[in-house]
Amino acid sequence: MRDTLIVTSTPENLMPLGSPAQRSFDLVTGVVADRIGADHAALFAEPVLDARGTSIDWHAPRAGQAMPLSDLASEEATEVKLRLSDMVARILAEAQALREIGGADQLRLAEALENAMEVPGQDQVYVIRSPDGGLDPVLVHWAWLRQTRAPVRGVLSAMVPRASAPGAASVGAQQGTHPGLWWLLGLGWLALALMLAAIWWLSLAPCGLRLSGPNACAPDPAEIAAAETDHRIAADAVAALEREIALANRQCHPVVPLTPAAAPEDKTELPQPLRRFARIGRPPQEAAHIFRADLPLPGVKVMVMHNQADQGASRGPGIGISR
């Protein structure tokens, strides 16, 4: 029923939620009217596309004057927000109930109701002022979000406080009538503290700690002396083994025999003339008689020379060899 034209808009920079069947006005309003009531179904404006599909006319199901929520005075805006909060909470609770029932159809209906509670922004919330002065909230572009990289959800939930779930007040009242519950919680915390203290106390003994100080459980001096003696004995045994290893390592080295010096060459093996020449230390006169020019030395000529000093003193004969 199209009674009041609220606004004409375009879907530019907007993206729809769910399938076209889930965004059906008849489906959403029919489920809400059947499961909650006609007043809650009147929260959704009816979209009407033009022939080209470039704009959408949004119609309210009731007669009255349409205006944005932001145009209301603060007192009236607060009243509308409180009513809107109750309606949104009731529809979302019904969607959760459908999810708990399970089944493919129920899940699709639950998703359709949850998507219907999403709008691109607060400017999509309008108010219909009826002739008798009543104020009724109505949503346009419901089940749509802004086409951005991270579209914002929960605009309605953030704009108004979430209504308390049915039965929450009664539960709080019941808790208030039973102060003994706080005593039970206190006793539970006390038992936990005592258990932690016992664990801490029992963990001191393995660490050698007592309330009198960290050295309250000092070991026996006799045990310390015995341990030091064992350490010294072990050190002496290690040193003896190291000496034995060093001696064994030294015995494993090969012995290099010393090579005796070569015996001097036997002069008797020299030819007869050279053996005569080897007689060093005899007077030159005797050497002059030994080496003569007629000795059978092949290719060797022996010359006996007599050198005289500048002042006429004779230094004796000299010997020269030429080939």
Kindly report, residue by residue over 124-179, the tens digit of the pLDDT. Answer: 999 999 888 889 999 999 999 998 888 888 888 776 555 454 444 444 444 444 55
Q: What does the pLDDT read at residue 52?
A: 82
Q: What is the DSSP letter of 262?
A: P
Q: Please, are residues 180 and 46 in contact by the beta-carbon 8 Å criterion?
A: no
Q: Per-residue pLDDT averaged across 5-17, rounded?
A: 91
Q: Quote the distance between the C-alpha of residue 273 and its chain's center.
A: 101
The answer for residues whose C-beta is within 8 angstroms of residue 83's C-beta and 6 or more apart is 135, 136, 137
Q: What does the pLDDT read at residue 277?
A: 52
Is the pLDDT at 117 greater than 90, yes or no? yes
The pair of three-digit structure tokens given for residue 107, joined into one six-digit string: 């899940």
**174 vs 110 pLDDT, higher one:** 110
Reported as a single tens digit per residue, the pLDDT across 20-64 is: 999 999 999 999 999 999 999 999 999 998 888 789 999 998 888
Sign of the alpha-carbon torsion through 19, 25, 30, 35: positive
The CB density around residue 109, as the number of other CB atoms within 10 Å, is 21
Reported as a single tens digit per residue, the pLDDT across 288-307 is: 554 444 445 455 444 544 44
The answer for 99, left when phi > 0, alpha when psi is -120 to 50, beta otherwise, is alpha
Q: What does the pLDDT read at residue 249?
A: 79
Q: How far apart are CA 77 and CA 127, in angstroms?
A: 9
Q: Per-residue pLDDT averaged across 6-23, rounded?
A: 91
Q: Please, are residues 277 and 295 in contact by the beta-carbon 8 Å criterion?
A: no
Q: How far apart are CA 138 and CA 140, in angstroms?
A: 7
The pair of three-digit structure tokens given for residue 13, joined into one six-digit string: 């920079």
Considering the chain, what is the average pLDDT of its residues? Answer: 76
Q: What does the pLDDT read at residue 211?
A: 52
**245 vs 270 pLDDT, higher one:** 245
Reported as a single tens digit per residue, the pLDDT across 69-90 is: 999 998 999 999 999 999 999 9
The pair of three-digit structure tokens given for residue 267, joined into one six-digit string: 């002069």
Considering only CA atoms, which of 137, 100, 98 is closest in space to residue 119?
Answer: 137
pTM for the whole thing? Answer: 0.50
> Where residue 217 falls among pLDDT bands split at 50, 70, 90?
low
**232 vs 170 pLDDT, higher one:** 232
Return the beta strands (E) in the chain as ranges. 4-9, 14-16, 46-49, 56-60, 65-68, 125-129, 135-139, 144-146, 301-308, 314-322
Q: How far apart are CA 181 and CA 197, in angstroms?
A: 25
Q: How far apart are CA 153 and CA 117, in angstroms?
A: 9
Q: What does the pLDDT read at residue 243?
A: 85
For tokens 């660490």, the residue is: 207
> Where residue 275 falls among pLDDT bands split at 50, 70, 90?
low
Q: What does the pLDDT read at residue 110?
A: 93
Q: Per-residue pLDDT averaged across 186-190, rounded?
A: 85
- Residue 309, phi then psi, degrees to nearest 5: -75, 170
